[in-house]
Amino acid sequence: MPSAPKKLFIKTYGCQMNVYDSERMAEALGGQGYVTTEVAEEADMVLLNTCHIREKAAEKVYSDLGRMKPLKAAKPDLKIGVAGCVAQAEGDEIMRRMPMVDLVVGPQSYHRLPAMEAAVAGGAKVVDTDFPAEDKFEIMAERPRVQKGPAAFLTVQEGCDKFCAFCVVPYTRGAEVSRPADRVLTEARALVAAGVRELTLLGQNVNAWHGAEGGLAGLIAALARIQGLERIRYTTSHPNDMDAALIAAHRDEPKLMPYLHLPVQSGSDRILRAMNRKHTVAEYLWLIDKVRAARPDIILSSDFIVGFPGETDADFEATLDLVRKVRFGAAYSFKYSARPGTPAAEREAPDPAVADDRLQRLQALIEQQTQEVMAAMVGQETSVLFERRGRMDGQWTGKSDHLFAVHVRDSGDLWGEVRRVRITGVTSHSLSGQILG
């Protein structure tokens, strides 16, 4: 009689790339007899796939590990692992502070998880935070052919060479590396065969992808030729790598959705220099004009940091001016938090109360713009990819071309369908509509 499968619980922190990495880690351990579970108490192994970008990231991980001590006490054979960027930054420290942890693996080494799991099963403690020479994607087995949801992430690029003064990515993810085009296309075809209709291409600096001639624009063109793939997106981009070919792709490729996330971080040239962003406000606005000329209906989003060391009231007002000029449909804004080991960490930041006030003012302006952009869509038509059935009969939720959530009522089975919808109303953070035809 075959033994029962072992159960794996993964908690994913942070960005879309960590969501993708968690899927690949689960697949890697699937070969060791693991199946995933949504209940930590059922698990034979718990993996925390961590992110080091936001404030107190490490403390949150240690707090979660502390809450798992009763699980370990009740189930001594439970294996606990920490993966991702906090693991990369604090591998030995995690083992010192939390001896209950059995393995620590960085984001470039998770293809070694099967061997690490075998070592842990033999009683060893394992830390692997190398930047291995081998390509983890090449070594990992072909992705299993299981049914997928209609939208999926696909990592095409990792790492960053920009060394922004506030960012830990170059230290935790390493230098920029692009996956070869043939491997990306092979994985994309497999995902489409498993039911995926929309792919979001991921990278810490995705528009720096150079896995084949033609850059990211060339990759998008090749992906668009895959039959059954109906939508393509990409994130996150850097303004310095937004080239003419990629801008033209927004004009020429119907499958590339009219949504662009292009972080600027500040509206002050002085602060941008202090951040080591290597672009100016004028250059950013020039790019926005070019993108909008190529695709007039595009919705733009961005990232902002307020309270960066040295930021004055005038610098912050310049950020508000930039937001007013661009009119973003969405944006992510954060109060600066020092990341250990980064150049900005040694500089004195503004008073926290001042930074809090600036953040609230910025977020209020962005929210106002988002609501205005959504309100302007009422009466317009858009395509929607439906991904979820609501709790009540006939309720469905999907994503519009511009990435807004759209709710409709329809008695049919819309899962995985792309349908034309007329927008009829706006709620706080989503749209309502009626299916056409």
User: For 262-308, what is each residue's pLDDT tens digit?
Assistant: 999 999 999 999 999 999 999 999 999 999 999 999 999 999 999 99
pLDDT, the chain, mean: 92
Q: How far apart are CA 303 and CA 14, in angstroms?
A: 15
Cβ contacts of residue 351 below 8 Å, gap of 6+? none
Give the model's confidence band at 2: pLDDT under 50 very low, under 70 low, under 90 confident, else very high: low
CA distances from 414 to 191, 229, 292, 420, 427 (A): 19, 17, 32, 12, 22
More confidently predicted of 339 and 98 = 98
Question: What mean pLDDT comes out for the span 336-362?
Answer: 93
β partners of residue 423 = 433
Buried b (16+ CB within 10 A) or exposed e, 92-112: eebbeebeebbbbbbbbbbbb
Least confident stretch, 130-139, 171-180, 345-354, 424-433 = 130-139
Under 8 Å between Cβ of 198 and 233 = yes
Domain boundaries, the chain: 6-128, 149-371, 381-435
381-435 is a CATH 2.40.50 domain: yes
| Rounded CA separation 376/368 (Å) | 12
- Measured in residues, the chain has a length of 437
Contacts of 377 (CB under 8 A, 6+ apart): 402, 404, 423, 426, 431
% of the chain with per-residue pLDDT over 90: 75
Euclidean distance between CA atoms 291 and 275, whole angstroms? 24
Distances in whole angstroms, Cα of residue 168 to Cα of each of 86, 165, 237, 291: 10, 9, 16, 29
Interval 29-49 mean pLDDT: 92
Q: Cα dihedral angle (71, 75, 76, 79), rounded to 10 degrees?
A: -70
Structure tokens at 347: 């500089």
Q: Residue type for 115, please?
A: A
Is the bond leading into 236 cis (omega within 30 degrees of zero)? yes
At 51, the amino acid letter reads: C
Which residue, among 210, 239, 216, 198, has the nearest Cα to 398 in the 3D structure?
Answer: 198
- Relative to beta strand 126-128, strand 177-178 is unpaired
| pLDDT of residue 317 exceeding 50 | yes
Give how far the C-alpha of residue 247 lies from the chain's centroid of Cα atoms, to the nearest Å: 21
Residue 413: exposed, middle, or buried by beta-carbon count in 10 A (0-12, 13-18, 19+)?
A: exposed
Q: What is the model's pTM?
A: 0.88
- In Å, how far from its chain's centre is CA 154? 10
Q: What is the pLDDT of residues 77-115, one digit of tens each?
A: 999 999 988 888 888 899 999 999 999 998 888 888 989
Contact between 431 and 423 (Cβ < 8 Å): yes
Would you say residue 319 has pLDDT above 50? yes
- Residue 70, CB-side half-sphere exposure with 13 Å CA sphere: 5
**Is domain 6-128 classified as CATH 3.10.180.10?**
no
Task: Give me the pLDDT at residue 281, please.
Answer: 98
Which of the four pLDDT bands, split at 50, 70 and 90, describes residue 143? Answer: low
pLDDT of residue 55: 63
Top CATH class of 149-371 equals alpha beta
What amino acid occupies position 425? G
Q: Is the pLDDT of residue 180 over 70?
A: yes
Residue 195 has pLDDT above 90, yes or no: yes
Predicted pLDDT at 63: 92
Structural contact between residues 65 and 86, judged by C-beta atoms closer than 8 angstroms = no
pLDDT for res 1: 46
pLDDT attached to residue 147: 65
**Cα-Cα-Cα-Cα dihedral of 280, 284, 287, 291, to 10°?**
170
pLDDT value of position 145: 63
Dihedral through CA 220, CA 222, CA 224, CA 225, nearest 10? 180
